Amino acid sequence: MDVPFFDCHSHNPSRQGELVIVQADVERMVTDDASSPAFSSFSVKNVSSGNCCSTLPRSNKSPISYISIGLHPWDVERFDINKVFNTFVNNLQNDENHHIVAIGECGLDKLCTTSLDLQREVFIKHVELSERFSLPVIVHCVKAMDELLRLRREMRPTLPWIWHGFRGKPQQMHQLLDAGMYISFGFRHNAQSIAECPVERMLFETDCDERPVSLLYEQTGISPKGIKIFFP
Ligand SMILES: [Zn+2]
């Protein structure tokens, strides 16, 4: 049976033929009727269900759109946080077909001007959603690894946290792996880190890149076998 090329984080809803978690557009989610599901914001079919999806439990639905919902740290001050989280909860509660498969991207970013206290507060709300709805978290973290790991120790999450777009060196990666995190690599990555990452803790993503994720598997020589697919 074919193993799908899994892309755990993409902002490009027009990609076809791969198993992709697409980032939902928060702007549209909150401006549309709050009761309308996040996936209605996607008029395009995100993933065509070829046989690549036949291994999935919900393969009977075609086409399949998988999305993640979360507030990027750079967007925290643009929105009314309570309204955003009410919309998220609404969507999660009404997501009968399980289109929402992850929380995020969300996290901590010391390059953005929003105070770290506020970022932390909002990130914690995402982690709470992750635990409540049993969904993994896609983490955006820039220059705040110690803070992230400290939060992780305090919160003791039971669901996976995926560090998205990891570009660091092996030493930094091992700290994350030791803390129980998963590592998602994009086209910009440290090759030695990929070489040292156990495949069962490794993921690939295209983020804003329009190239197919299969190219990343090809370039790195990693087989999609053994790559964990996060679905409820
Ligand atoms: Zn992203």
Cα 130 to chain center, whole Å? 11
* CATH value at residue 199: 3.20.20.140
Residues spanned by the domain of 36: 6-220
CA dist 82 → 37, 69, 88 (Å):
17, 15, 10
Interval between CA 1 and ligand 1 midpoint (Å): 30
The answer to whether residue 202 is domain-embedded is yes
Give, for 107, the enclosing helix (H) or strand (E): strand 100-109
Interval between CA 95 and ligand 1 midpoint (Å): 22
Give the model confidence (pLDDT) of 153-212 as tens digits: 999 999 999 999 999 999 999 999 999 999 999 999 999 999 999 999 999 999 999 899
Interval between CA 205 and ligand 1 midpoint (Å): 9
The answer to whether residue 41 is domain-embedded is yes
Q: Which residues, by Cβ under 5 Å, contact ligand 1, an ion?
A: 207
The answer to whether residue 226 is domain-embedded is no
The answer to whether residue 177 is domain-embedded is yes
- Residue 213: burial class (beta carbons within 10 Å; 0-12, 13-18, 19+): buried
The answer to whether residue 229 is domain-embedded is no
- Number of structural domains found in the chain: 1
Cα 137 to chain center, whole Å? 6
Interval between CA 164 and ligand 1 midpoint (Å): 8
Quick one: pLDDT at residue 48? 31
pTM above 0.75, yes or no: yes
The answer to whether residue 146 is domain-embedded is yes
